[in-house]
Amino acid sequence: MKPHADGPRWLNIFHFASPYQFYPLAGRLIPLFATLAVLLAMAGLWLGFAIAPADAQQGEGYRIIFLHVPTSWMAMLIYVAMAFWSVMHLILRTRLSAMMAQALAPTGALMAFLSLFTGALWGKPMWGTWWVWDARLTSMLLLFFLYLGFIALTRSIDEPDRADKAGSVLAIVGVFNVPVIYFSVKWWNTLHQGASISMEKGSTMASTMLIAMLLMSLAAWMYAITTTLSRVRNLILQREARTRWVQELLAIPANKA
Partner 1 sequence: MSSWAFFCTVIRRDLFLAWQQRGDLLVGLVFFVLVACLFPLAIGPEAKLLSRIGPGVLWVAAILANLLALPRLFQADWQDGTLEQLLLAPAPAGMMVAGKIVAHWLTTGVPLTLIAPLLGVQYGLSSDLLLMLMATLFIGTPVLSALGSIGAALTLGVRQGDMLLALLVLPLYAPVLIFGSGAVAAVAGGLNGYAELSLLAAIACGSLFLAPWLAAMAIKLAVE
C-beta closer to partner 1: residue 184 or 196: 184
d(Cα 5, Cα 17) in Å, to the nearest integer?
Answer: 17
d(Cα 143, Cα 194) in Å, to the nearest integer?
Answer: 24
d(Cα 81, Cα 87) in Å, to the nearest integer?
Answer: 10
d(Cα 122, Cα 109) in Å, to the nearest integer?
Answer: 20
Q: Which stretch binds partner 1 (CB under 8 A): 67-75, 178-186, 218-226, 246-254?
A: 178-186
- What does the DSSP 8-state code read for residue 53? P
Catalogue the E-assigned strands of the chain.
none
C-beta closer to partner 1: residue 106 or 149: 149
Residue 156: count other Cβ atoms within 10 Å of its Cβ.
9
C-beta closer to partner 1: residue 49 or 145: 145
Q: How near is the Cβ of 234 to partner 1 at its closest, in Å?
A: 22
120 touches partner 1 by CB under 8 A? no
Count CA atoms within 13 Å of residue 129 on its CB side. 6
Q: How near is the Cβ of 72 to partner 1 at its closest, in Å?
A: 18
Q: Which among 1, 24, 10 is positioned nearest to 246, based on CA atoms?
A: 24
Sites for partner 1 among residues 130-159 (CB under 8 A): 142, 145-146, 148-149, 152-153, 156-158
184 touches partner 1 by CB under 8 A? yes
Distances, alpha carbon 85 to alpha carbons 35, 105, 116, 164, 175, in Å = 25, 11, 25, 11, 12
Q: How near is the Cβ of 163 to partner 1 at its closest, in Å?
A: 9
In the list 13, 50, 191, 252, the residue contacting partner 1 (rule: CB under 8 A) is: 191
C-beta closer to partner 1: residue 137 or 170: 170
C-beta closer to partner 1: residue 192 or 256: 192
C-beta closer to partner 1: residue 108 or 174: 174
CB 195 within 8 A of CB 48: no
165 touches partner 1 by CB under 8 A? yes
Applying CB under 8 A, the residues found at the interface with partner 1 are: 142, 145-146, 148-149, 152-153, 156-158, 162, 165-166, 169-170, 172-174, 176-177, 180-181, 184-185, 187-188, 191-192
